[in-house]
Amino acid sequence: MKSNILVIGGTGKTGRKVVERLQKLDQNVRVGSRNATPAFDWKNHSTWSRAMEGIDKMYVTFQPDLAVPGALDAIEALTKQARESGVKKIVLLSGKGEKEAELCEQVVINSGIDHTIVRASWFNQNFSESFFLDPILAGHVALPKAEVEVPYVDTDDIADVVVEALVDDKHNGHIYALTGPKLLTFGDVVNEIAIATGREIQFTLITLSAYSKMLEEANVPADYIWLINYLFTEVLDAKGNNVVTKDIEKVLGRKPKDFSAYVHETAATGVWNVTSEQHA
């Protein structure tokens, strides 16, 4: 059955893939972003009602993360608007093991609107589409907590689960925790990328304060720096966060994408190739 679906964050890492998949399924898709028509701007509540007009279902992503200060207020206001606009279902992207994000989940769960919560582990794509990319290109990745093992998940798998949750009501009321099939340290990640690209990429353990300072000097936005500090202190090595789950298999009937497959696919795109300008 065809639905009118709003994808908030429809140009982001998971959102754009959700949009593509929904369009292939012949759903009516509206991209929720500041540059879309009608526009959706998290910081301008007056844009929300128009963006939700005639919408049956929504996929909601909040940047940079539901754990950051201000996210809870935003999700409360968004959910209220969704009720007023007659939205029948919300699929919310959340973070695995983030207590602050779980407060936002509760707002959606208790809203009276049908819902599915998708809690994702750290994305594979953080190393090709986010602030871990520049250090990889520079050939020197310096990060805290070198010993922590993370079950990285691919945004292709997240998008497939989200679409399944949007189009099939059997997922209503469920919370899915999405991970990849194996645990990797930061050193493992850098080593896999180095082998796949044939490049020398060094990994160094540094303190969290030194890393935060480095991000500030690189003009990384303050809310991202807050998030990194939060993730490294509260989330990465929290109990249960280094557990591989079977939820992708449960929802999709197939295994999640292995990190090695992501690395080989991404290396083939050339995104990790160093140009002559970067050498200079």
In order of start, what are the domains of the chain with their CATH numbers?
A: 4-120+154-179+243-257 (3.40.50.720)
State the helix-helix crossing angle for 208-217 and 222-230, rounded to 10 degrees. Answer: 160
The two beta strands, 4-8 and 57-60, are parallel
**Confidence at residue 131, expressed as pLDDT on a 0 to 100 scale:** 80
pLDDT in tens, 214-250: 999 989 899 989 999 999 999 988 878 889 999 999 9
**Confidence at residue 280, expressed as pLDDT on a 0 to 100 scale:** 45
pLDDT in tens, 67-123: 999 999 999 999 999 999 999 999 999 999 999 999 999 999 999 999 999 999 999
- Whether pTM exceeds 0.75: yes
